[in-house]
Chains A and B, each alone.
Chain A
Amino acid sequence: MRAVGSSIPRVDARHKVTGEALYPGDIDRPGQLWLRVVFAERPHARIRGIDTSAAMAAPGVVAVFTAADVPNNVYGLNTLDQPVLCGPGAPRGMADADIVRFVGDQVALVVAETETQANSAARLLQIDFEDLPVVSDPLAAMQPGSPLVHGYRDNNVLLEYHVRTGDVEAGFARADVVVEHTYRTGAQEHAYLQPEAGLSYIDALGRIVVVVAGQWVHEDRQQIAHALGLPEDQVVVRYPAIGGAFGGREDMSVQIVLALAAWRLKQRGIDRPVKTIWSRRESIIGHHKRHPSVVSAKWGATRDGKLVAQQVDFTSDCGAYAYTSTKVLGNATLACLGPYVCDNVHVDARTVYTNNVPGGAYRGFGGPQGHFAAELQMDRLAEALGMDPLELRLRNAWHEGSLMATRSVLPAGVTIVPVLERLAAEISGSENGGQSPRPSPQSPVPSPHAPFLTSLDASAGRRLRGTGIACCFKNVGFSLGYRDVCNATVELYGTGEIERVVVRHAAAEVGQGTHTVMAQVAAEVVGVPPEQVELIVQDTAETENSGSVSASRMTFMAGNAIKGAAEQALARWQDEERPAIAHFEYVPRATTPYDKLTGQSDPNITHGYCAQAVEVEVDPDTGHVHVLQVISVNDVGRAINPQQVEGQIEGAVAQSVGWTTHENFVQRDGRVLTDQLSTYLIPTVVDVANVKSVILEIPDPQGPLGARGMAEMPFIPTAPAIVAAVHDATGVWFDEIPLTPERVWRGLRAAAR
């Protein structure tokens, strides 16, 4: 049996299933103290002063830390714009660190003997707030005279991108049909099983060790060291088992404050570990969300279905701090055009500060918001042209050698057409399900692709059925000029034969199965069974930088790095080196940033492609939308572990069904009204559709053994496909998600009037 291509059990499965795996909150050390973070709980305010005396005097309290204790009171993954602790008095850092900009800003740390004592004392903190005007709508935040979220800036627009290609006005003049609509998507909470937690202590070498869940050990270490004003080798970041991430652990939550507390205590002669566990509510207000978006799109096509103009205006709600907003914006700027060839393109995209919980990374990273508009524009064009939506997509889809709107040739391995063609085949194939096919009322022109399920007017004539499709592209790896790298070391031990293979790699196992994939790639290249591979992973003291588990990049990047290291180690083994050890730094082809005025660039290393068909049932009286079935066709280049690929597809679809139909994150004037999982509902197992995963393996020329990144892609088409299916069922277009029953109820009633 080959190591690659088989669904071997996950290397972490046994420990996780038996409960042996320890997550950050499960880990204790002797003598540990408990840390409670005091959150601002106000969307915009100035902290005039903090009186810690009552809290300090409370039973069991060992220390209370405030901004004055932070050596360098500023941090940020890409943009340094956030204080570690809000308040006056830090020696260095942000000049206006005394400003609170969202409810989840951290103000103080109470350290006590027990968790209960820390909680009680936290309530005794006297914080003198002066409330400031709140801006909670990104469009309002762009208006002149809006309150400024960051006072030193001229306005709240953090970043803008522009794409100017061809001449859109000339394009619209040539168009036989033009469709123009405004689309809105909501914030989404990651709702990972494991809320933020961790432990920090000083080790025998005097280093600060932080045991925490994250997505990029080396970046966490860099941010901790920066805020503490220490060299990076003074800090060790180690990930134990991680209870999900989905992008939600890309930015700091407990990392810096845990390290700060352990370090400051040690300076006071108290050498004790410090632990914290956030409640679900703290997790929900304390970490970022998927960016809400408002996208206005005007597209034109000729009668034969050729796209001739795409004009898009994209705005995302950045919230109080940048987090990954600028990078998400970079992706969305192209995602809002879809995987289509068009000579005349005009995009204005921006991300805008508000006093909301920050927007940030979440599976798809700008792809879902962009494609929501792009794919629904394609459906509207198809409707206006009387053309089958799949046919319209095929007529405009990228081919090998096509130019992107950035005027660069697409990275080789363009497979959106075969992906769409396979979807069409799947659709006509599933007609044999025993139900009679039904002519689609939306396509007067006979469609070459028959609708895949019947539109059944269910039992009492109450539920309506409909189908819809959508597709997408997504970049793999970091984009737009960021120098992406990934390191790996492979060590071969034995005398005559290779008995043991050790792989050192920093990649975080967040549940996606990356460690299993790494073992499989190493085993394949070295030629041993995967059980012989030992992994030393996710620890800055033991591994070198691998970048984050994000951007669907780790199989692609780690695969290439491990393959490179394994090949070199094998060569040394053949040269009789014992042990044979090789290190490899994989650097993919370089990308370039957007030109400021035109957007010209070579934006992405490579892409993955996905297309989906969805069948829904709508209760027109209550507005409930139930997604019955999703067919997801994914080109993954090479399925290193097919079961893990299916897991990613099913998980992505489930999460996207949630974003589209159930998950309604409500903020009012900067306050979070859905701060529990009883008010913010995610789909249950009964709500999630049947998913048919169709895996294509068309090799990516740059991919390790041909593999492409794939884990975000199946999230992206689901939302527009559901909206198209709801339209097919009801005749009504919904331009805003989530499709809560009440929103659908309102839409259907408005249309009936």
Chain B
Amino acid sequence: MQPFDYVKPNSLEEASALLIEHNGDARLMAGMTDLLIRIERGFFHPRLVVDVKALPGMRDLLVVRNGDLRIGAAVTMNEVALSPTARSGWPLLAEGCQSVASYQLRNRATVGGNVCNASPAADSVPALLCYEASVHIFGTDGDRTLPLAEFITGPGRTALQRGELVTAITVPAPARGAAGKFLKLGRTAVGDISVMNVAVLGWPDKATPSGSQWRIALGSVAPTVIRAPEAERILAANTSMAGIEAAAQAASDASRPIDDIRATAAYRRDMVRVLTRRGVEGVLAEIGEQANR
């Protein structure tokens, strides 16, 4: 492994300046669970690694004034998965974070790192897409905020510009009565990277023909995590058995998986159908339960 220098700056300005100064030879690190492997295997050759963990606000996990959940970029997976606030208000996200690797790894791995790594298999991203989260960016030219769907631009690619870093992710509170299901398909019961995954969020809405609204996100079946808008529309219209089947099929049709060492595209495509159906059924059962209370 190529040696590199390590700095832990105390201000965002300093971090940004280091990135600009080292122009491509510097990399940001949070938990380093992705970065170190890439360096070790020779994909990245940074001369400098810049630790973001001590930067202001990076470790915040709190509900801000408008009711959004604010997750500092260096908040760990376990902090989210075990947070009573996240578990009660954003359970779909807590489930996604909980599904990552092992307990030990989740003590290091961060949500910010998961998002910035921009893997199609990133397990926090489907939930964040369903909640329509935003990414907060610091840069020398000023701060900006992007919807997560625009922040991730391709496999391993983000909208970050030179000298920019992510400071936080904000997650709007879901509608009243919302329920979510995150279903991850791995080859082992725990610890595997998603062969594929599905996040389903639904909530009661009297304005739709089916009486509910839906968001569905699919992981590891396209170059980035994607939404399945056609499936969402079908469910807003109809949540009968036939509606669920049609939505599951529409989600499957929206996926563009590849063959790799973990599974073939054909298997993944069918698993989108199977897990979407299960997710929707699970959410419906929960919404129904709440309605009956």
Contact = CB atoms under 8 A, between A and B. Distances in A.
B188 A742 contact: no
B189 A687 contact: yes
B270 A662 contact: no
A681 B261 contact: no
Interface residues of B, number: 20
Contacts of B39: none
A742 B190 contact: no
B169 to A, nearest CB: 26
Nearest to A623: B267
A10 to B, nearest CB: 26
A750 interface: no
Contact of A684 (B185, B189, B193): B189
Given A678-B193, A681-B192, A662 B267 contact: no
Given A678-B193, A742-B264, A742-B267, A116 B188 contact: no
Contacts of A621: 274
A740 B3 CA distance: 39
A129 interface: no
A683 B274 contact: no
Contacts of B270: 745
Nearest to B185: A622
A751 interface: no
B54 interface: no
A686 B185 CA distance: 15
Interface string A660-687: 0010001000000110001101111011
Interface in A673-714: 673-674, 678-679, 681-684, 686-687
A686 B267 contact: no
A274 B41 CA distance: 25
B187 interface: yes
Interface string B169-191: 00000000000000001011111
B271 A622 contact: yes
B76 to A, nearest CB: 20
Interface string B252-269: 000000000111100100
A741 B187 contact: yes
Interface string B86-121: 000000000000000000000000000000000000
B188 A662 contact: yes
Nearest to B40: A279
Contacts of B264: 742
Contacts of B192: 681
Given A116-B3, A622-B274, A742-B267, A679 B190 contact: no
A684 B261 contact: no
A124 to B, nearest CB: 14
Contacts of A740: 187
Interface in B1-51: 1, 3
A666 B261 contact: yes
Nearest to A746: B267
A223 B246 CA distance: 66
A686 B188 CA distance: 8
A115 to B, nearest CB: 9
A687 B187 CA distance: 10
Contacts of A681: 187-188, 192
A682 B191 CA distance: 10
Interface string A118-153: 010000000000000000000000000000000000
Contacts of A119: 1
A520 B224 CA distance: 60
Nearest to B264: A742
A741 B184 CA distance: 14
A626 B186 CA distance: 13
B255 to A, nearest CB: 15
Interface size band for A: 20 to 34
A742 B189 contact: no
A745 B261 contact: no
A745 B267 contact: yes
A742 B274 CA distance: 13
Nearest to B186: A681
Nearest to A677: B191
Nearest to B277: A621
A673 B267 contact: no
Q: Which of B3, B187, B190, B274 has the most CB of A within 10 A?
A: B187
Interface in A455-492: 460
Interface in A725-753: 740-742, 745-746
Contacts of A682: 188
Contacts of B271: 622
A662 B264 CA distance: 16
A655 to B, nearest CB: 14
Interface string A599-628: 000000000000000000000011000100
Q: Which of A621, A683, A740 has the most CB of B within 10 A?
A: A621
A686 B189 CA distance: 6
A621 B275 CA distance: 9
A193 to B, nearest CB: 16
Contacts of A745: 267, 270
Contact of A683 (B1, B188, B193): B188
Contact of B190 (A460, A626, A684): A684
B120 to A, nearest CB: 16
Contacts of A666: 261
A666 B262 CA distance: 10
A68 B164 CA distance: 54
A112 to B, nearest CB: 15
Interface string B191-202: 111000000000
A116 B42 CA distance: 13
Contacts of B185: 622, 741
B1 A116 contact: yes
Contacts of B190: 684, 686
Contacts of A741: 185, 187, 263, 267
A674 B263 CA distance: 13
B39 to A, nearest CB: 13
Nearest to B37: A678
Interface in B125-158: none
A621 B270 CA distance: 9
B239 to A, nearest CB: 17
A2 to B, nearest CB: 41
A662 B190 CA distance: 12
Interface string A262-284: 00000000000000000000000
Contacts of A678: 193
A684 B188 contact: yes
Contacts of B188: 662, 681-684, 686-687
A418 B192 CA distance: 42
Contacts of A679: 261-262
Interface in B214-263: 261-263
A740 B264 CA distance: 12
Contacts of B263: 741-742
Nearest to B3: A116
Contacts of A674: 261
Contacts of A746: 267
Contacts of B281: 460
Contacts of A683: 188
27 contacts: A116-B1, A119-B1, A460-B281, A621-B274, A622-B185, A622-B271, A622-B275, A662-B187, A662-B188, A666-B261, A673-B261, A679-B262, A681-B187, A681-B188, A682-B188, A684-B189, A684-B190, A684-B191, A686-B188, A687-B188, A687-B189, A741-B185, A741-B263, A742-B264, A742-B267, A745-B267, A746-B267
Interface of A: 116, 119, 460, 621-622, 626, 662, 666, 673-674, 678-679, 681-684, 686-687, 740-742, 745-746
3 tightest A-B CB contacts, nearest first:
A686-B189, A621-B274, A742-B267
Given A666-B261, A741-B267, A745-B267, 16 more contacts: A116-B3, A119-B1, A622-B275, A626-B189, A674-B261, A679-B262, A681-B192, A682-B188, A684-B189, A686-B189, A687-B188, A741-B187, A741-B263, A742-B264, A742-B267, A746-B267
